[in-house]
Structure 1
Amino acid sequence: MLQIEQLTKTFGRNNAVDNATISIDRSMMIGIIGRSGAGKSTLLRMLNRLEDSTSGAIHFEGREITSLKTGEKRAWQAQCAMIFQQFNLVPRMDVVSNVLHGTLNRRSTFASLLNLYPQEDIHRAIDILERLGIAEHAPKRAEALSGGQQQRVAIARALMQDPRIILADEPIASLDPMNAQVVMEALRRIHEEDGRMVIANLHTLDTARRYCDRVIGMRDGRIVFDGTPEQLTTGVARDIYGADAGFSEAATSTEIGALDRVGLTPVTA
């Protein structure tokens, strides 16, 4: 379904992604883990074509993606929606209009400038917000919502594109544990109910194990682990993160129960 072959991205003398090869034969939810700077975000940006690769290839259902230009490239970006850590919403715009921005790729420039949307798109946007449990916030400015609510608006905007793949770049990194759980459950539900592939960059091992069907570990731009959540042992995690025997999973957990066990207080976004 999705084939990444020897994909490399070089910045100067540094390889942000180094010869990455991944084969995904069916729709699943995949977590990519690793330290900051491991190449996770660059990999997703190349998949979405926000970044051009230095070498290598991406194929989706037999179609070569890395060579797409102009209109074909924009069409691919509609099929491969991106969700960002910092939401990328328009703060002073109402929630439903932010969601409707997911249709910009198929609307005329004139209609976009005048903020004109068909009634069916407006109804669909509200239905998606309802599905994500935030329809009552549709008329509010995006800046009035909590971080977790804003991230669900960003997910709704991605769903308005009706994508085949959803890429989530650290979707819960700036959220407290309760909102992180709500967002991850929403992404898992979208995968299961819609059959969409979801690929999410994650920092925490417990999140990857709980929500993902497959976990990929990156270190210094290279893929150093590719397996099931059950195969992601503490020893494997130490290798992915380049940590010593003092590495503690609990101290980096997003699970409230784990935080309680180590005596930590969740930090609110």
Structure 2
Amino acid sequence: MLRIENLTKSFGPNVAVDAANVAVDKPAMIGIIGRSGAGKSTLLRMLNCLTDATSGRIVFEGQQISALKGADKRRWQSECAMIFQQFNLVPRLDVVSNVLHGTLNKRSTLATMFNLFPQEDIHRAIDILDRLGIAEHGPKRAEALSGGQQQRVAIARALMQDPKIILADEPIASLDPMNAQLVMQSLRAIHEEDGRMVVANLHTLDTARRYCDRVIGMRDGRIVFDGTPEQLTTGVARDIYGADDSFSEAATSTEIQTLDRPKTAQVVA
């Protein structure tokens, strides 16, 4: 389904991603972990064609994504939705309008300028917000919402694109533990219920283990681990992060409930 082959990105003498190879045979929820500067965000940006690769290939369902230009590139970006840590919403616009911006690639310039959307799209946006437990906030300005609510609005905007892949770049890095769980539950439910591939850069090991089917570890631009959450031991984590025996996962935990809670969970309204 997705193949990343010897993918490399250099910025002058600095190599951000170094000959990355990944093969994904079916939709999965994949977590990418590693220290800041390990190359996680650059890898996601190349998948979405926001950054061009220096060398190597990205192939999705037989199409070479890394070679796309112009309209074909924009079409791919509508099929490969991106969620950012900073939400990237329009603060003074209402929530429903922000969600509807997920359809801009399919709208005419005139409709975009005057914020005109078909009634069916408006109803669909509200349905998606309802699914994520925030439909009651639809008329509010985005800036009036909490960080966790804004991130769920960003997820709703991504779903409006009806994408084949959702990429999430540190989606919970700026959230408190409760909102972090709500966002991760939402992404997990989207994967399970819709059968969509979700790839998320994460900064906590317990989150990767709890919500992901597969975990990829990056260090200095290279993939140094690719396995199941069960294989992500503390020793493996030390190697990924280049840490010594003093490394403690507890310092980065987002867990706020008992450790025996099931791995998968449904969206909490």
Same fold, judged at TM 0.5 (above) = yes
Secondary structure of 1:77's match? helix
Corresponding residue of 1:133: 133
Question: Residues of 2 paired with 1:232 and 1:90: CA distance?
Answer: 38
- Structure 1 unaligned regions, length at least 5: 260-269
How far off is 1:79 after superposition? 0.4
Question: Residues of 1 paired with 2:67 and 2:198: CA distance?
Answer: 23
Please say if residues 104 and 112 of structure 1, whose CA atoms lie closer than 8 Å, have aligned partners that are also in contact.
Answer: yes
Question: Residues of 1 paired with 2:91 and 2:36: CA distance?
Answer: 27
Where do 1:104-123 residues align within 5 Å? 104-123=104-123
Question: Residues of 2 paired with 1:128 and 1:42: CA distance?
Answer: 29
How far off is 1:257 after superposition? 4.4
Question: Residues of 1 paired with 2:26 and 2:14: CA distance?
Answer: 32
Corresponding residue of 1:145: 145
Secondary structure of 1:4's match? strand
How far off is 1:122 after superposition? 0.2
Q: Is 1:10 aligned to residue 10 of structure 2?
A: yes
Question: Residues of 1 paired with 2:72 and 2:184: CA distance?
Answer: 31
Corresponding residue of 2:21: 21
Question: Residues of 2 paired with 1:73 and 1:19: CA distance?
Answer: 23
Corresponding residue of 2:73: 73
How far off is 1:256 after superposition? 1.7
Secondary structure of 1:199's match? strand
Secondary structure of 1:179's match? helix
Secondary structure of 1:59's match? strand
Question: Residues of 2 paired with 1:38 and 1:254: CA distance?
Answer: 21
Please say if residues 250 and 258 of structure 1, whose CA atoms lie closer than 8 Å, have aligned partners that are also in contact.
Answer: no
- Structure 2 unaligned regions, length at least 5: 260-269
Residue type of the alignment partner of 1:92: R
Where do 1:97-246 residues align within 5 Å? 97-246=97-246
Superimposed CA distance per residue, residues 139-164 of structure 1 (whole angstroms, 9 cap, x where no aligned partner): 00000000000000000000000000
Question: Residues of 2 paired with 1:119 and 1:240: CA distance?
Answer: 49
Residue type of the alignment partner of 1:68: L
Question: Residues of 2 paired with 1:12 and 1:126: CA distance?
Answer: 46
Secondary structure of 2:9's match? strand
Secondary structure of 1:101's match? helix
Secondary structure of 2:66's match? coil
Residue type of the alignment partner of 2:172: I
How far off is 1:76 after superposition? 0.2
Question: Residues of 2 paired with 1:251 and 1:44: CA distance?
Answer: 26
* RMSD across aligned positions (CA): 0.9
Aligned length: 259
Corresponding residue of 2:262: none
Residue type of the alignment partner of 1:31: G
Question: Residues of 2 paired with 1:93 and 1:162: CA distance?
Answer: 22
Q: Percent identity?
A: 82
> Using a 3 Å threshold, how does the CA distance of structure 1 residues 258 and 221 change in structure 2: closer, same or farther?
farther
Q: Is 1:95 aligned to residue 95 of structure 2?
A: yes
* TM-score (norm: length of structure 2): 0.95
Please say if residues 28 and 196 of structure 1, whose CA atoms lie closer than 8 Å, have aligned partners that are also in contact.
Answer: yes
Superimposed CA distance per residue, residues 172-192 of structure 1 (whole angstroms, 9 cap, x where no aligned partner): 000000000000000000000
Secondary structure of 1:215's match? strand
Residue type of the alignment partner of 1:169: D
Superimposed CA distance per residue, residues 93-134 of structure 1 (whole angstroms, 9 cap, x where no aligned partner): 000000000000000011000100000000000000000000
Superimposed CA distance per residue, residues 37-78 of structure 1 (whole angstroms, 9 cap, x where no aligned partner): 000000000000000000000000111101111100000000
How far off is 1:258 after superposition? 8.0
